[in-house]
Structure 1
Amino acid sequence: MRFNFFSRKAAPTVNHEGAPAFTLTPAVELYAAVATAALSDQFYEKADTRLARLRELVAKNEPRFVAQLAVYARERLNLRSVPLVLCVELARLHRGDSLVSRLVARVVQRPDEITELLAFYAQANTRSGTKILNRLSKQLQKGLALSFNRFDGYQLAKYDRDGAVRLRDALFLVHPNAKDEAQQALFDQLVRGELPTPYTWETELSAVGQGTYASDADRQTAVRQTWETLIGSGKLGYMALLRNLRNIMEANISAATMEQVCDTLADRFAVARSKQLPFRFLAAYREVKALQSGHVAGVLAALETAIAHSAVNLRGFGHDTRVVLACDVSGSMQQPISARSKVLLYDVGLVLSMLLQSRCQNVITGMFGNIWKRISLPRGPVLRNVDELYQREGEVGYATNGHLVVEELLLRREVVDKVMIFTDCQLWNSTGDGGVFGRIWADYRRTVAPNARLYLFDLAGHGTAPLEVRPETGVALIAGWSDKVFDVLSALDNGGSALTEIEKIDL
């Protein structure tokens, strides 16, 4: 299957700052919007606006590509909500085969994704309550029924939560055929609300918290012992361990248990299985760094090892490849990636750039805002380098003068092979000197480095680029917060496009 990934001439437009920009093809724009979708309000775009744009873009793309992108987002980028949006929209537009049902059965990997999909279906079709039954897509219904058949009693009980749509409601809506008598018994228990309460680390800690104790000291002892039991038994998953490091350390667990925590965090097989987004390690690093525990140094070292493992398959560049890594730390980048996160967009850019820096032999790193500033950092400690850059972001100001990165290379007549900019792509020139990024880049390639490539790592997906994204211009766009952006980088270096990895998805 082939797509016209890039038009012969991208239409000129302006970005959210009113600066010159270029449109993307529908496929690339949808990819960028999906790869960066938190579906919460952003600096330039409200959640409802992003959602409406996603729906419009689905209608502009080939159904098979939309399905491949949904699978890519769920299985490679580990996103949950936005693949469900793509499923619902595709069901509204596509008929005549089993594409949607197969897609839904593949994308829905947890029981609560059944109810989330149905809740979005109701919202997208302005329905509520029992009205969701009206004209429920048969392909959605079939796909959800197949999903129900995959889940056991533990999974159904764990994710049977309050919400606009409950699992019981979903069961009535999609009418899955039980695969055997045992599963039919589970469905009956779900309908009656009689599924046994599942054992999870959350329920274990909740039970301890609700207990009656003679003193606060006794309560603290019970909490500490519970954490030690959970960690010792291996029942605490990697993500739960990562997100609860502060709680665990504040519970004053034993030194032996703390050593086990560090060993688990640094275990390369555990890291690989966990499929954590790289910025999750940064969030944990910052939480731990603020503590006063004597175990802080050991945990920080374990987190450095963990993020290094996460990049073990990242193909870097040797001494012969000269690389520039430039991070946008402008005001619009100082926006949380979601309403529930402390991680900012520029944190994501810093992490991705330092992961790449750890694999490069000949590299210039720096930040830009009002000015562009080179900052020399040791190769290796990813999280410590991110923290160093984070502490220094005020040194460059908060505008978005990304063109200065290339302008300096041009003025110095400095030859590099790859310029990589981590940004929300809403670049504009605040200096008043009239410099246009596209013209500066063209001058640099024409007079200094004819084979240079510029990679825009789009961390926001607003739908435009500050330069024309075409092979002829030497400009490529890569979107997302996952380490999978480096797979795209590899595809580009091998003559592919930003969509090559998506096109490989087998449906």
Structure 2
Amino acid sequence: MVNKAIFKTYLGKLLPGTDTKNHAAAPAYRLTPREALAQYAVTGTFNGTFYADGAEQLEAVRALAVEVEPEFVAKVAVYAAERGHMKDMPVMLLSLLSSLQSDVFACAFPRVVKSGKMLRGFVQVMRSGAAGRKSLGTRPKKAVQAWLEHASTMQVLRAMVGNDPSLADVIRMVHPRPATPERQAFYAWALGKPHDYAALPDVVKALQAFRRDQTQPLPDVPFQLLTSLALTREHWVEIAVKGGWQMLRQNLNTFARNGVFEVEGVAEAIARRLADPDEIHRSKVFPYQLMMAWKMVDGQVPEVVRDALQDAMDIAIGNVPSLAGHVVLCPDVSGSMGSSVTGYRQGATSAVRCIDVAALMTAAFLQRNPQARVLPFANNVVNVSLNRRDTVMTNAEKLVAVGGGGTNCSAPLRALANEKAEVDLVVFISDNESWVDATRGGHATAVMEEWARIKRVNPAAKLVCLDIQPYATTQAPTRDDVLNIGGFSDAVYGVIASFAAGTNGADGWVKTIEATEL
């Protein structure tokens, strides 16, 4: 009799052998250069992660960028900025493009650099030498000049918030040619040089007047240009009422400390703005940012404002798809998921952890797909009781509370295979660094072995591996029934829904990026 332990029969394709190792030193599959670059672009921040530091990310991105054509690099940069809402990675990709003999740099630059913050980030990357040069060069210099020449007065004022480099540094580097006396005076003022006061924009005159005398009307400028002054409660109320949506979300505790919510009607007005659907969609807020804002507000922030953050969360996840069939959600709650989702950097580490994002995405999927099963995993499947009628915040916190242990991505698949469960779609939300279930090098991963068992019972089942860290390996290689996708913005939901419905294949994510028009 043939030894069935060796000569296994699998439904469909033979299981592929692994071709690399992940950062946990366990066998894995290498993503294609396009998939890997896209994953880095929507998850990488050049900060230290649980398994790798920022320098490794930088080297990986540089190596991947030369393996694909410049046009794809440009499209990834635009996608990461516009759909992934990333900051550092798009400007890094731009800096790499700037030294290539291609016209796509000029096409991608205005799509990526839409704010003064992104402009200063691009200049800093170029000055750092990370892209192979420490000066801007002709094309990047012209692109920065063009941004300054076309920017509104308010855009330039917003660009003045922040240093390393400051906007004044940027102006000194590129020497923009002011087209009007007003812009000439504005640049001179920004540089601290003698200028024609009469030619300054009215808003800058108002700022100057307020700096001299705080009884003057509060100027309509970024509030960071005012915080060194002796502001009254009335000033803070006006700042809050006039502020942008993201600024409101980020400064609720500051407003509370300065007595803003003590003024009648202000809390209700801010709550209405926080829960305004149009403002939420325009802000491009990550749902996890709302979750953390809700968790971080202190007791001085009124309940009506805290409730508005929950309302905003429900709106922000409104495009989470409702998926047909038997759906299984597998959030990774292992120890490595306790690391910061944007990585570690001294003095600037986000309080948001990978497990917070995984838990929130799972809870959001569950709210839209109340019949879905949730199988959290670490060393093994973790038993967590979730109430489908609870809020997204409540269910996410239940998942966060069980974190710890090793990573065993095959555990939930083994549980499903053992019970011969009906399965149409399995969605993993993980850093994908499985090692507890490591197989011998060259053999298929345990994930693929268990997936093959599931496919015997459910031949049409599909697997989604949603990765929220930039490691460029997977436990399940992309094929007709396996989608690898990275990121934590709302852009991932549409790709998953299309894959589940069969309207896009497993290469749908890369094709979405390739469809980006420059």
TM-score range, shorter chain: 0.7 to 0.9
- Give the one of 287, 312, 317 matched to 1:311: 317
Whichever residue aligns with residue 254 of structure 1, its letter is V
Aligned to 1:336: 340
The residue matched to 2:368 in structure 1 has which SS? coil
The residue matched to 1:119 in structure 2 has which SS? helix
Aligned to 2:393: 383
Instruction: Report how many aligned residue pairs link the two structures.
Output: 467
- Aligned-pair CA distance for 1:483: 1.4
Aligned to 1:443: 453
Native 8 Å contact 2:370 2:388 kept in 1: no
Supply the distance in 2 between the matched residues of 1:64 and 1:126 (Cα, whole angstroms).
Answer: 17
Tell me the C-alpha RMSD between the 2 structures.
2.7
Whichever residue aligns with residue 235 of structure 2, its letter is T
- Give the one of 239, 263, 274 matched to 1:265: 274
- Aligned-pair CA distance for 1:442: 0.9
1:85-484 to structure 2, matched below 5 A, reads: 85-92=92-99, 94-95=100-101, 97-124=102-129, 132-133=134-135, 136-160=136-160, 163-193=163-193, 196=204, 197=207, 199-208=221-230, 222-223=232-233, 225-231=234-240, 234-250=241-257, 251=259, 252-254=261-263, 256-288=265-297, 291-293=298-300, 295-296=302-303, 298-318=304-324, 321-338=325-342, 339=345, 340=348, 341-374=350-383, 375-379=385-389, 381-391=391-401, 393-394=402-403, 397-429=404-436, 436-446=446-456, 448-471=457-480, 474-484=481-491
Native 8 Å contact 1:178 1:184 kept in 2: yes
Higher relative contact order by CA 8 Å / sep ≥ 6: 1 or 2? 2
Native 8 Å contact 1:372 1:402 kept in 2: no
Whichever residue aligns with residue 326 of structure 1, its letter is C
Whichever residue aligns with residue 67 of structure 1, its letter is A
Supply the distance in 2 between the matched residues of 1:45 and 1:378 (Cα, whole angstroms).
Answer: 36
Native 8 Å contact 1:32 1:461 kept in 2: yes
Supply the distance in 1 between the matched residues of 2:145 and 2:465 (Cα, whole angstroms).
Answer: 41
Supply the distance in 2 between the matched residues of 1:9 and 1:179 (Cα, whole angstroms).
Answer: 62
The residue matched to 1:38 in structure 2 has which SS? coil
What do the CA deviations read for 1:294-335 (whole angstroms, capped 9, x no partner)?
A: 833x333322211111122332125xx111111111111110
Q: As a proportion of its length, which structure holds more helix?
A: 1
The residue matched to 1:398 in structure 2 has which SS? coil
Native 8 Å contact 1:487 1:501 kept in 2: no
Whichever residue aligns with residue 224 of structure 2, its letter is E
Moved more, 411-420 or 303-312: 303-312
**Does residue 1:70 correspond to 2:77, yes or no?**
yes
- Aligned-pair CA distance for 1:230: 2.6
The residue matched to 1:208 in structure 2 has which SS? coil
Supply the distance in 2 between the matched residues of 1:110 and 1:360 (Cα, whole angstroms).
Answer: 37
- Aligned-pair CA distance for 1:69: 0.9
What do the CA deviations read for 1:184-226 (whole angstroms, capped 9, x no partner)?
A: 44334444446745733234444235xxxxxxxxxxxx34x33
Supply the distance in 2 between the matched residues of 1:323 and 1:73 (Cα, whole angstroms).
Answer: 28
- Aligned-pair CA distance for 1:506: 1.0
- Aligned-pair CA distance for 1:462: 0.1
Moved more, 267-276 or 495-504: 495-504
Structure 1 unaligned residues grouped into runs of 5+? 1-7, 210-221
Supply the distance in 1 between the matched residues of 2:176 and 2:474 (Cα, whole angstroms).
Answer: 45
Native 8 Å contact 2:26 2:438 kept in 1: no
The residue matched to 1:22 in structure 2 has which SS? strand
Supply the distance in 2 between the matched residues of 1:21 and 1:355 (Cα, whole angstroms).
Answer: 29
Aligned to 1:214: none
Supply the distance in 1 between the matched residues of 2:173 and 2:253 (Cα, whole angstroms).
Answer: 42
- TM-score, with length taken from structure 1: 0.85
What do the CA deviations read for 1:349-377 (whole angstroms, capped 9, x no partner)?
A: 11112222221142012321122135332
The residue matched to 1:314 in structure 2 has which SS? coil
Structure 2 unaligned residues grouped into runs of 5+? 1-14, 208-218
Moved more, 21-30 or 248-257: 248-257
Native 8 Å contact 2:125 2:131 kept in 1: no
Aligned to 1:79: 86
The residue matched to 2:375 in structure 1 has which SS? strand
What do the CA deviations read for 1:387-410 (whole angstroms, capped 9, x no partner)?
A: 12222x14xx41111211111111
Aligned to 1:502: 513
The residue matched to 2:484 in structure 1 has which SS? strand
- Aligned-pair CA distance for 1:177: 4.2
Identity of aligned residues (%): 25
Supply the distance in 1 between the matched residues of 2:439 and 2:139 (Cα, whole angstroms).
Answer: 55
- Aligned-pair CA distance for 1:132: 4.4
Native 8 Å contact 1:330 1:400 kept in 2: yes
- TM-score, with length taken from structure 2: 0.83
- Aligned-pair CA distance for 1:18: 2.1
Whichever residue aligns with residue 143 of structure 2, its letter is G
